């Protein structure tokens, strides 16, 4: 048997916060994507923890769907990054200022 679920929930909260800070602070689109992955992983850890606490398989099924959505999101996002790099030769979010007034 493992530790009480609260430890896992606290760890997941910390990882989620680190990912959110990275998303706000960093300027490289690739690293911003990685921070989104961090936040999704924290959510997955929470799902699995609640699944164990309630002895309900539904949480683990949701983790499955989160994995699929994360994969699809990364595929499309990196496609956009590559397309954008061809036009502007940059992966910095600050350089995408074409709509600036």
Partner 1 sequence: MLHALLLASTSATVPDVIVFAASAVVILMGAIGVVTSSNPVHAALSLVMTLFGVAVLFIEQEADFLAAVQIIVYAGAIVVLFLFVIMFLGVDRAEDVTTEPLVGQRPLAYVFAAITLGSLIAMGVTAHWVTGAHQVVGPIQGHVTKSLSSPAGEPAQLGKQLFTTYLFAFEATAALLVIAVVGAVVLARRPPTVHADQEEPTESELSA
61-80 positions binding partner 1, by CB under 8 A? 61, 63-65, 67-76, 78-80
Least Å distance, CB 101 to partner 1, is 17
Is residue 30 near partner 1 by the rule CB under 8 A? yes
Least Å distance, CB 97 to partner 1, is 11
HEC profile of the chain: CCCCHHHHHHHHHHHHHHHHHHHHHCCEHHHHHHHHHHHHHHHHHHHHHHHHHHCCCHHHHHHHHHHHHHHHHHHHHHHHHHHHHHHHCCCEHHHCCCCCC
Is residue 88 near partner 1 by the rule CB under 8 A? no
Q: Between 32 and 61, how does the x/- string for binding to partner 1 read (CB under 8 A)?
A: -xxx-xx--x--xx--xxxxxxxxxxx-xx
CB closer to partner 1 out of 35 and 101: 35
Is residue 98 near partner 1 by the rule CB under 8 A? no
CA 27, distance to chain mean position in Å, is 16
């Amino acid at each position: 048997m493992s530790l009480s679920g609260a430890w896992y929930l606290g760890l997941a909260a910390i990882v989620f916060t680190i990912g959110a800070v990275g998303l706000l602070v960093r300027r490289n689109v690739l690293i911003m994507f990685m921070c989104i992955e961090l936040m999704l992983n924290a959510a997955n850890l929470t799902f699995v923890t609640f699944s164990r606490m309630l002895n309900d398989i539904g949480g683990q099924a949701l983790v499955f769907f989160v994995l699929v959505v994360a994969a699809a999101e990364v595929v499309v996002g990196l496609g956009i990054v590559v397309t954008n790099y061809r036009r502007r030769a940059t992966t910095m979010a600050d350089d995408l200022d074409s709509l600036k007034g």
